[in-house]
Structure 1
Amino acid sequence: MHVHAEVSARGTTSLSAELDSAAGTYFKAEHRHPTLPEIAAYYRERRMACVVFTVDAESATGTAPVPNEEIAESAQEHPDVIIPFAGVDPYKGRAAVRQIRRLVAEYGVRGFKFHPNIQAFHPNDRMAYPLYEAMEEARAIAVFHTGQTGIGAGAPGGGGIRLKYSNPLDVDDVATDFPGMRIVLAHPSFPWQDEALAVATHKPEVYIDLSGWSPKYFPPQLVRYANSLLRDKVLFGSDYPLLAPDRWLADFAKLPVKDEVRPKILKENAARLLGLTEE
């Protein structure tokens, strides 16, 4: 449920050199910039499908994203493995709304990724509401980065990235005001893990993906809720290429997850959310 396209066909990356370097160091990632065909081949080799997106934070950072159209076209070329999501910049207003409608109508994009820290906005900022209206109307899924981010970690001043924007309680307002929009809270939401669990248990259309952290570092309450109250709402995600799915799965196998819950997290919950099953 969580794969980043970090390099465009032109060879440009979606982060500045400073943020890109800091992220690579933080995650100790080896192959940081696979192309979209390489992503497809990597996941096909593992017999997995993957949700792929970019982050459009151009207004806040000055760096252009990987074009959403490239991801969508790659999904058309590799429909067995790539599920296209997109990134939209909330500061682009009406242009972003038009982009959402066009990407859904013309390319079959299934959802949209927001990274409040990099984009420098609170998810419940009213400026973003026209975007959510368009997404709710299109039945698109919203993915919000939550919790601390490795982007900018270790750089002077955190690379200018502020953590305050990623409290999942901000997303609770969005879930309240757009009850028809399905929402994924990305990552274990340190230091707001309990807030994320509260939102996901309270709002029926809010899910949690487990990307960005090795499972051996998951807070115990996250594992407890995944095994019980949220067993149908927790989703496998790696954060590739920052964190490889092979490592994630190896560490996940060591968690005390119930046998009947494990397939839900690894496949069934996401398949249902994405409409890939009739359930």
Structure 2
Amino acid sequence: MPVVDAHSHIYPAKIASKASDAVGDFYHVDMAAPVASSEALLAACEGTPITHHIVHSVATSPGQVETINTFIADQCFMHPEFIGFATMHQDYADVEGEIDRAIQLGLKGVKIHPDTQMVNMDDPRLMRLYEVIEGRLPIVIHTGDYRYDYSHPRRLQRILRTFPRLKVDAAHFGGWSIFDYALEYLENENCFVDTSSALEFLGPRRTVELVRAYGPDRVMFGSDFPMWSPASEYRMLAAMPFTPEEFEAITWKSAMRFIGEES
């Protein structure tokens, strides 16, 4: 049985250490992996049942978009266990052209991070992105941060209602650090959520409650590597009192549906 880590970050070797440091500084945490490289991700999963990884990087300037997308595609070619997602920046000029190129490169979705990209997720520039990918590619959107308003789940609710065929993973249980707000806005919306950067904060009881509130067919296991160890995150999830059917949904079936490969 496959196990999909639906939320992992990788960067080119020459900046993988710097990228990991930057993420740690942004969230004020000690990173589980000091180097956010493909090799470090695969090494961190040795001895675990994890078989596949949705991988992405974030462009903090429009000039990084094409380089990152090419890098992710190259890594997927080298590592067939990787499922690559493109990046996009709100000020990138040719959104439609780059999305077409990403599809030609074999990338399976898009990832954005409104907080580090310093843009409201419902900004008109990103609404154009959603229009371009609706019905074509899924998107992972970092959602929630008590320090910022860029990624508040109420903004995602507006997006989901504007683009009903847009397939979205509202990362971090729909609202990192504001999990209850996320449930309030997103419980009855048409979106997925993932468990990344949430399990340690929520604990077993609240995690199980949230999975059942959203429905396990909307929840995907994610580690948020390099912030957390995929092995530790998987063990934490596996120790929780889920039914076998719930656990299968969380660890692979939901992710397969998210990327359009129905299980």
Q: TM-score range by the shorter chain?
A: 0.7 to 0.9
TM-fit CA distance, 1:199: 4.0
- Tell me the equivalent position of 1:176: 161
Question: Is the partner of 2:110 in helix, strand or coil?
Answer: strand
> 1:83-102 counterparts in 2 under 5 A?
83-92=83-92, 94-102=93-101
Q: Which of 235, 250, 253 pairs up with 1:265?
A: 250
Question: Is the partner of 1:70 in helix, strand or coil?
Answer: helix
Q: Is the 8 A contact 1:86 1:109 kept in 2?
A: yes
Q: Is the 8 A contact 1:225 1:231 kept in 2?
A: no
- Tell me the equivalent position of 1:157: none
The AA in structure 2 aligned to 1:124 is D
Q: Matched residues in 2 for 1:128 and 1:210: separation?
A: 24
TM-fit CA distance, 1:41: 5.5
Q: Matched residues in 2 for 1:180 and 1:36: separation?
A: 32
Q: Matched residues in 1 for 2:82 and 2:201: separation?
A: 28
% identical equivalent positions: 25
Question: Is the partner of 2:86 in helix, strand or coil?
Answer: strand
Residues paired across the two proteins, number: 255
TM-fit CA distance, 1:145: 0.7
- For structure 1, the residue ranges without an aligned partner over 5 or more in a row are 150-161
Distance verdict in 2 for CA 1:127–1:136, change over 3 Å: same
Q: Which of 120, 141, 144 pairs up with 1:144?
A: 141
Question: TM-score scaled by structure 2?
Answer: 0.84
Deviations 1:43-71 (A, max 9, x none): 47644100000001115xx9889621111
Q: Which of 49, 54, 57 pairs up with 1:54?
A: 57
Q: Matched residues in 1 for 2:253 and 2:23: separation?
A: 33
Q: Matched residues in 1 for 2:200 and 2:36: separation?
A: 26
Q: Is the 8 A contact 1:193 1:222 kept in 2?
A: no
- Tell me the equivalent position of 1:75: 76
- Tell me the equivalent position of 1:197: 183
216-225 or 11-20: bigger deviation = 11-20
Question: Is the partner of 1:86 in helix, strand or coil?
Answer: strand
- Tell me the equivalent position of 1:109: 107
- Tell me the equivalent position of 2:201: 217
TM-fit CA distance, 1:15: 6.4
- Tell me which of the two structures has the higher relative contact order, counting C-alpha pairs closer than 8 angstroms and 6 or more residues apart: 2
Distance verdict in 2 for CA 1:13–1:65, change over 3 Å: farther
Distance verdict in 2 for CA 1:15–1:65, change over 3 Å: farther
- Tell me the equivalent position of 2:119: 121
Q: Matched residues in 2 for 1:228 and 1:190: separation?
A: 17
- Tell me the equivalent position of 2:149: 164
Distance verdict in 2 for CA 1:33–1:66, change over 3 Å: farther
Deviations 1:177-228 (A, max 9, x none): 1111100111142443233224443222x01101023x24216555313135
Question: TM-score scaled by structure 1?
Answer: 0.80
255-264 or 180-189: bigger deviation = 255-264
Question: Is the partner of 2:83 in helix, strand or coil?
Answer: strand
- Tell me the equivalent position of 1:235: 220
1:133 equivalenced with 2:131 (yes/no)? yes
